[in-house]
């Protein structure tokens, strides 16, 4: 089987869709599937092998028509998208093409593939990883006639079904649990470390996290451990920032830190690639995800939970679908509630035994419900085979 995966970007560019495709493509290869990733990221990396097993491969192909960078230019002699897709799909015998978030930005890729569907005998599948708010959306309309449609959460499935006018099936993506199961539950490397594992854009809640840490420092009595917040610093060259939100935001946060008189070293900015998150979870006492917009689902909190770290997230969009039992496997707080966020962080920092117990239950929950291999990869492989079977 040879499968084509299509998305605007791919690691080393970081983001939720990129992380999913990185893990999914190498697990497909480990199960004997040949994968071609069609993307717009210059210098996209090839995932290493995931364990032992199949003889499949992952190949990266780039076209400027999938590159949404403002300064993206076609390479000399580069064919149009339709010709490019036709040549590569035909040469490699691809009959399954699985697009991801092609309902945003440009309708050209979705229309090119839809136009080749009958000619090349393709089965076209599309996964919606996020919502859009425009009343008319040419890119979403271009995906309308694809054969199968999936969304990453119940929240997003309902939103897509409402906006598209036809049913979009919910399929949780899950995470590669094997990468986190041997992270020690006890003996946190850096007691007091609070991690926000998200891109540095305003909607991900970095400002809220800074204000929450400041609130704890100002209001907690006694000589308890001082919280230290770690934020992910991402630049335009290695992050999904199609709306230009990253530019200047790091500086705004530094000004906020000065304005609040937060001591030096309490807030740290660090860079991390797609395969570096485990090390950060190992260091952390608490992981926060205080998003200020309707998150479609949130894979990073699930990764942290699988690493047996207690998480505190806002009740936004599909985030609460990963935390079914508030205060049992994680903590949910209202949107933009600095005091509530600070209270839950302080509670966990002050009670390491409770934090450890929550982390243990969180890990068990993720293994039971969100394992990428069991609940996404294997069913998707069955679906691919079903789509390829003669009708």
Banded pLDDT at 104 (limits 50, 70, 90): confident
Residues of 108-138 as b/e, b for ≥16 C-beta within 10 angstroms?
Answer: bbbbbbbebeeebebbbbbbbbbbbeeeebe
pLDDT at 15 over 90: no
pLDDT at 239 over 80: no
Q: pLDDT tens digits for 345-391?
A: 999 999 999 999 999 999 999 999 999 999 999 999 999 999 998 76
Same fold? 2-174+372-388, 178-369: yes
**38-47, 141-150, 243-252, 295-304: the lowest-pLDDT one:** 243-252
Is domain 2-174+372-388 annotated with CATH 3.40.50.2000?
yes
3-state secondary structure 147-168: CEEEECCHHHHHHHHHHHCCCC
- Given the candidates 3.40.190.170, 3.40.50.2000, 3.30.450.70, 2.40.40.20, the CATH classification of the domain at 178-369 is 3.40.50.2000
Those residues whose C-beta lies under 8 Å from the C-beta of residue 209, and which sit 6 or more positions away, are: 194, 196, 229, 231, 288, 290, 341
Q: Where are the domains of the chain?
A: 2-174+372-388, 178-369
The pLDDT score that the predictor gives to residue 149 is 96
pTM for the structure as a whole:
0.92
pLDDT at 48 over 90: no
The pLDDT score that the predictor gives to residue 137 is 83
């Amino acid at each position: 089987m040879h499968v084509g995966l299509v998305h605007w970007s791919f690691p080393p560019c970081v983001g939720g869709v990129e992380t999913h495709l990185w893990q999914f493509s190498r697990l497909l290869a480990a199960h004997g599937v040949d994968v071609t990733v069609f993307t717009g990221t210059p210098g996209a990396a090839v995932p290493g092998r995931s364990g032992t097993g199949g003889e499949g491969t992952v190949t990266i192909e780039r076209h400027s028509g999938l590159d949404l960078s403002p300064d993206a230019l076609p390479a000399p002699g580069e064919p149009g998208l339709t010709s490019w897709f036709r040549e590569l799909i035909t040469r490699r015998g691809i009959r399954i093409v699985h697009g991801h978030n092609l309902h945003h930005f440009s309708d050209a890729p979705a229309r090119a593939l839809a136009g080749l569907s009958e000619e090349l005998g393709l089965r076209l599948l599309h996964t919606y990883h996020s919502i859009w708010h425009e009343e008319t959306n040419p890119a979403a309309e271009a995906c309308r006639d694809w054969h199968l449609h999936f969304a990453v959460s119940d929240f997003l499935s309902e939103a897509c079904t409402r906006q598209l006018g036809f049913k979009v099936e919910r399929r949780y993506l899950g995470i590669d649990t094997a990468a986190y199961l041997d992270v020690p539950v006890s003996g946190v490397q850096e007691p007091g470390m609070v991690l926000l594992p998200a891109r540095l854009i305003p909607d991900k809640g970095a400002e809220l996290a800074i204000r929450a840490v400041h609130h704890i420092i100002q209001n907690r009595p006694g000589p308890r451990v001082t919280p230290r917040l770690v934020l992910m610093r991402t630049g335009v060259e290695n992050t999904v920032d199609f709306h230009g939100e990253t530019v200047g935001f790091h500086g705004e946060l530094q000004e906020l830190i000065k304005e609040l008189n937060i001591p030096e070293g309490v807030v740290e900015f660090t860079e991390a690639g797609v395969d570096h998150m485990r090390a950060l979870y190992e260091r952390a006492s608490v992981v926060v995800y205080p998003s200020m917009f309707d998150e479609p689902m949130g894979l990073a909190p699930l990764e942290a939970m699988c690493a047996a770290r207690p998480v505190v997230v806002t009740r936004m969009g599909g985030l609460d679908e990963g935390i079914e039992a508030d205060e049992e496997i994680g903590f949910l707080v209202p949107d933009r509630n600095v005091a509530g966020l600070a209270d839950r962080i302080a509670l966990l920092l002050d009670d390491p035994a409770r934090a450890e117990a929550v982390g243990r239950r969180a890990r068990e929950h993720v293994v039971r419900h969100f394992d990428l291999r069991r609940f996404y990869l294997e069913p998707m492989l069955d679906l691919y085979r079903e789509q390829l079977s003669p009708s």
